[in-house]
Structure 1
Amino acid sequence: MIRTWHISTVTDAARARIATARLATAHGVTAVERTRLVSALTAQLRQCLTKGGSWLLSVETAAVPAGGARLDVEVAPEKRPADDRRSPWRATVVLPDGAAGDDDGDGHVADDPASLAEALFGADEDAALVLDRLDEQERLVAFHREELHQTNQGVLALHGELDAAGRAQRELFDAEQRARKEAENARGRLTFLADASAALTASLDHDEIVRLLPTLLEPRYARSGSVDVWLFDEPADHHANHSADAGRHSGPRPAAAVLAARRGRPQYAADHPGGLPGVDDQPPSALDPTRPLLCIPLMTRRAPSGVLTMSPPDEHWDADDAVMLIELTRRASIAIENAKRFEHNRDIAETLQRALLTDLPATPGLRLAARYLPATRGMNVGGDWYDAFRQPDGGLITVIGDVTGHGLRAAVMMSQLRTALRAYAVDGGSPGELLTRLHTFLHHLQPDLYATAVIARFHPDDPTLTWAAAGHPPPVLRTPDGRVRALDAKPGAMLGIPLRQRLKDHTVPLPPGSTLALYTDGLVERRAQGIDPGIHRLSSALAEFGPEELDGDLEGSADRLLRPLLRDSEHDDDVCLLLCHVHSSAADPAEPPGPLSSGLRL
């Protein structure tokens, strides 16, 4: 149903507004929607009155296809020009479901004051409802605004906490990275220090240690070519002779090196402070002012023995590097001191041992050849020894022995045993009796030192070999027919053990052309193989010689015998060999007078 009002004056507009409000109320439109519709309509009608002319207000109740109804309001000019393409003003209000309006009547509003007043009061009631609703909405908005504000404050606080946590996490990560880098650097320094220490202590040659220091330090911790080792106890010509060696040079020394030697403290010479722990700062060196120098004394138990001087690989060292270099220098000084002490003791022991290994005597019908090779590792001086001398009755005593241990003590004990044996042999006695007296002598003289020995006795009037052994590898005998066998009759125990023993003599025929090999365990014993395979190799090598070789050149035969047995140039123990060859001709007219060479090989 369509209702229409003609509007040309304010009164017409007021009546149309009141009628529209009443229709909206009759169709159940809520006060808020009704007020919104009436307010919009009033504003439109005010514009129409301002423009002037006659206007037509239409209100239609129409059904909605999906069910329900709506209220359509339209304001348009009553007489619309043909060229006016503007759309009329329209408003639509959806009616509530089940709302039933009174479609009867034409919507006429009386002109009397009472009706207008009633309409005015009705509009005020709608405005009051809207205001109440507005107050309620404002309170709700205020509540939600406060809630949103609190939420925003919480979000801001959370963002602040997250940002602080992020910064703290970044700081922790950076600290962890720095700590990890420092740990890696520290591990690298410790690894370098351990490896360098092992390399320094592996050598007992102080010249080699000095040459090794630049190789270890350059270029990681020192500029290439800058490492110099100044040893005080070496003469100037020694440095001059080694000027081409790494780590040494001749010429004037920096003042910082002299101060390090005098004060026993590391010195840093540069045009700026080094800030290194335990290091004194000094002015730059006059020899090379542009090059920083770190001078570290090589300390011994009593006083500095030298100074290690170097330049940094970059501009300077950091504190941890300096501490590590000082510790490495301390270990290098200990290694150099130990090497010098070892070299000193070795020289003394070698001198003593050279003096003790005398020439072999010449005996008609019997030739002797001896070889002594010191161990290639360690002190190079041990207790292996051999000897040969005549007895008053014309017999010849040959002996080979081995005192346990190495070094000066073993060499001195070997000398005492050699002297004691010669003294006992003056009174005569068989090999077994002589070994028995040596056993008693050693047990009382050095209760904690032991020895092994074999004594063999030759006599020009007796074609029999008499021998006795005390804990020593058995002698090897080659007969003229080329057969070789070990004289492995049961030996006695080692000399010097806390046991009363009487060593027995053994005899074996010794026809012309026979060769007896006495030796120490260094010749036949190898690690993880035992001694028996070595004795077998010695027997096989001795069997390969012909009688004419042994008769004609016993010295050369000794060398050729050792060659296959010592194929490795390195051996851990001393090697001692004594060959005793009975010439095929008993008279041995070719025997030269005088003592034969001992063949000493040191």
Structure 2
Amino acid sequence: MGPAFLHAVLHDVGAGVLTVDTSGRITFANPWAEHLLGRSQERMRGHDVHDLLHRRHDGSPVPRERCSMLAPLREGGSGELGSEEYFLRADGTTVPIIWSTTPLRVAGRKAGMVIVFHDFSLQREAEERAAAHTAALEALTDRLNLVADVSAALMSTVDASGMSRRLLPLLVPGMGDWAALDLCPTGSGEGERIAVHSARDGERPVYLEEPLPPLSEESRRAVERRLSGDEPVRVTAGELTADPDAPLAAPLRTLFDRLGGRSAVVVPLSTRQRFFGTLAVGRAGPSPAHADSEVRVLSDIGRRLGMALDNVRLYHEQRNVAETMQRQLLAPLPQVDRLRMAARYLPAQSAMEIGGDWYDAFLLSDGITALVIGDVVGHDRQAAAHMAEVRNMLRALAWDHQEPPSVIMRRLDEAVTHTSDAPMATLVFARVEGEEGGPWQLHWVTAGHPPPLLVTGEGDTRFLTGGHGPLIGMSSVLHLGLSWPDAYEDLPPHSTLLLYTDGLVESRGRSIDLGLAKLRHHAAILARRMAEQTVDDFCDELLARIDPRGDDVALLALRMPAAGAGAPGDTTPPPPRQSPYSPAAPDRAAPGSTVERPEVRDPTRAARPE
């Protein structure tokens, strides 16, 4: 292996190679070292390697005592490795290097050392690019996770205020130091700030959640023009100070003053058909203004929020239509002597809130009070339409034929079978018979329906299981020849009769037997307070205790008067008048009734949390 071979290796090794003597002076430089440093071997030979080449990143000298490359010469070590070093090129620039040193021995004597180095800039640029890509991916992942969390929050409720209070904490502090949501309906000069969240210890400044100052027509139009597009609007504190009458100054000034603000992004919340309001996300103190990428994310969140608010609007409109339809189908209660009645209707937990359950109470042509509770198969508008058919048939048959309930049921079964496409239905049809002052008797039949519950004033309870027969629409269709036997039961003074649909006593998580036992238990407890409660109070507390869920619930309760109350010669004062409230539409009244029926807030809503 001669000198030519060694020269070829050093020439083509692909790395810079320098040799230095024991004093640190350069004795040899291969061609690759000349290329990397922009210096010829002749110009480097004899110069101290540290003084000539070793520099910091900015080109300033490195103290000799801190030069790790010279360690083998100072300490006689076996060699060193390093990467955070720079060599000075001939043009005054620096080149980052990765290097290694090896002691050089000739004939067994220490002759200096060899320095092998590579240009580390390409690798460093690759690492920096990789780090930048990693950071960009992490930022993208964070924003995708944010958008996913936002979407989940927007789908979690159909209440705009609750939706906003779930959304804003997701934006603070990641997207800003505070966030606020304003609802400003189109065509109105008034708006409302329904939610605010601040980064100060995660506070919710409820004092800022309030109606916004009304805008003049000109100001309102200016705001709509500024937010007419889908793009967010950037606002700075300086702009608000310079132009106090700017379109967005009025709603933003309070937020900037109370929560601090250097800049904010205001995102319009709208769909193609409707403008709902704005989402404002602000930054205070030393926080920089939002970057373009952050504004794009807020713009996407604004579009999602606008669609969610539109869905909330559609949901409530649909629910209001369904509720109005249901109330029109339900019957108002008649005022009959000293009898007192109450009715409640709880729709299934769905947007339509309409179904086949119903109650009814009306006076017959012979002066008898009729009571009905029923359930047509289904929980939608078709079920409600069928319910109205069956109810009206039953009313007409009961009015036109002064016959026992068993005969009325047979006539109804045949009429439903041959004149309607209504599916099968369950119901209880009862006559409350007796002279004014009593005694009173219940005369009834049951068509596949849960039995009525009789609750005495002393707290005794029993289900009235007599009079049981097939469902309406089953006997005639199948030609079974089944019938409904008439049943009778005395109604003691101060007792309460409960008619109800299966939604009160049955659910997916509870069998009907357990539900009936629960109904009987709570009714017995409440019966001992009857002297202190109206029949309306009784129904409301019973629903609150049972808390039915999942299916429609109809409930009809009849409270019997004291013995002899209302009879000729009776001077005792009558009980309080029957409550004007019922689930029926407020502008309807029972036939022949003169009782005014103002719209009353539904007290049963407190019994069923959203």
TM-score (norm 2): 0.58
Partner of 1:468: 446
Picking from 171, 175, 190, the partner of 1:217 is 171
* 1:596 aligned partner: 578
Preserved contact between residue 484 and residue 542 of structure 1 (Cα < 8 Å): no
In 1: Cα distance, 2:231 partner to 2:473 partner: 53
Number of residue pairs matched by the alignment? 445
How far, CA to CA, are the matches of 2:362 and 2:482 in structure 1? 21
Letter in 2 for 1:466: W
Going from structure 1 to structure 2, the CA distance change for 1:503 and 1:306 (only over 3 Å counts) comes to farther
Q: Does 1:522 align with 2:497?
A: no
Per the TM alignment, residue 179 of structure 1 is displaced from its structure 2 partner at its CA by 3.2
Question: Are residues 1:566 and 2:544 paired?
Answer: yes
- Offset at 1:270? 6.6
Could you report, residue by residue, the CA deviation over 1:444-487 in whole angstroms, capped at 9, with x for unpaired residues?
Answer: 998587754322233338945221224x3332245799351352
Match for 1:302: what amino acid? Q
Amino acid in the other structure paired with 2:136 = E
- Distance (whole Å) between structure 2 residues aligned to residue 476 and residue 249 of structure 1: 53
Paired position in structure 2 for 1:339: 312
Counterpart of 2:556, as a letter, is L
Give yes or no for contact 2:182–2:193 (8 Å, CA) kept in 1.
no
Root-mean-square deviation over aligned CA pairs: 4.8
The amino acid across from 2:158 in the alignment is L
Shift of 1:145: 0.9
Match status 1:144 vs 2:2? yes
Q: Which AA in structure 2 matches 1:455?
A: F
Summarize the Cα distance change of 1:496–1:248 in structure 2 as closer, same or farther, 3 Å threshold.
farther
Find 1:262's aligned residue among 221, 228, 232. Answer: 228
Which digits, 9 at most, give the CA deviation of each residue in 1:147-169, with x for residues without a partner?
21123235445988997797665
Aligned to 1:18: none
Aligned to 1:361: 334
* 1:334 to partner: Cα distance: 1.7
Contact 2:539–2:557, Cα closer than 8 Å, also in 1: no
Is residue 327 of structure 1 aligned with residue 295 of structure 2? no
Distance of 1:337 and 1:233 partners within structure 2: 13
SS in 1 for 2:344: strand
Q: Deviations over 1:397-444 (max 9, x none)?
A: 211234556576666665554444323322225545655666677789
Where does residue 397 of structure 2 map in the other structure? 424
State the match for 2:432 in structure 1.
458
Distance verdict in 2 for CA 1:419–1:509, change over 3 Å: closer
The secondary structure found in structure 2 opposite 1:153 is: helix
Q: 1:487-537, CA deviations, whole angstroms, 9 ceiling, x for partnerless residues? A: 277553476999557773233331241653211233223441222211012
Query: Structure 1 residues 344 and 255, CA, compared in 2 at 3 Å: closer, same or farther?
Result: closer
CA distance, structure 2, for counterparts of residue 165 and residue 430 of structure 1: 107
Map 1:126-137 to 2 at 5 A. Answer: none
Pairing partner for 1:541 from 499, 522, 526: 522
For 1:170-319, what aligned pairs fall within 5 Å after superposition?
170-209=124-163, 213-224=167-178, 227-233=180-186, 235-239=188-192, 246=209, 249-250=212-213, 258-259=224-225, 261-268=227-234, 292-311=263-282, 314-319=287-292
Residue identity over aligned pairs, in percent, reads 29
8 Å Cα contact 1:257/1:307 also seen in 2: no
Q: How far apart are 1:174 and its partner, in Å?
A: 3.8
- Distance in 2, Cα, partners of 1:267 & 1:497: 70
Match of 1:32 in 2: none
- Displacement, 1:538? 1.5
Which deviations, in whole Å up to 9, do the C-alpha atoms of 1:118-164 show, x marking residues without a partner? xxxxxxxxxxxxxxxxxxxxxxxxx6111211232354459889977
Which moved further from structure 2: 319-328 or 162-171?
162-171
The question of 1:580 aligning with 2:558 is answered yes
> Aligned equivalents of 2:424 and 2:119: distance in 1?
76
Counterpart CA distance in 2 for 1:498 and 1:190 is 61
Residue type of the alignment partner of 1:180: T
Contact 2:226 2:247 in 1 (8 A): no
Q: Distance in 1 between matches of 2:472 and 2:120?
A: 79
Unaligned runs of 5+ in 1: 1-142, 273-282
**Further displaced range: 326-335 or 559-568:** 559-568
Task: Give the drift of 1:297.
Answer: 3.2
Following the alignment from structure 1 to structure 2, what is the Cα–Cα distance between the partners of residues 170 and 401? 80
Instruction: Provide the secondary structure at the position in 1 that maps to 2:158.
Output: coil
1:67 aligned residue = none
Compare the two structures and name the one with the higher helix fraction. Answer: 1
The answer to whether the 8 Å contact 1:478/1:542 transfers is yes
CA distance in 2, matches of 1:172, 1:575: 69
Instruction: Go from structure 1 to structure 2 and tell me whether the alpha carbon gap of 1:233 and 1:449 turns closer, same or farther (over 3 Å shift).
Output: farther
Report Cα offsets for 1:272-297 as digits up to 9, x if no partner.
Answer: 9xxxxxxxxxx997778995453433
Residues 231 and 582 (structure 1), Cα distance of their counterparts in 2 relative to 1, 3 Å cut: closer
Q: What is the TM-score normalised by the length of structure 1?
A: 0.59
AA aligned opposite 2:5: E
User: Which runs of no fewer than 5 residues in structure 2 stay unpaired?
Assistant: 18-31, 33-96, 99-116, 196-205, 239-245, 583-602, 605-610
Counterpart of 1:473 in structure 2: which amino acid? P
The change in CA–CA distance for 1:292 and 1:447 in structure 2 (over 3 A counts) is farther
Which whole-Å CA distance do the structure 2 matches of 1:322 and 1:444 have between them? 66
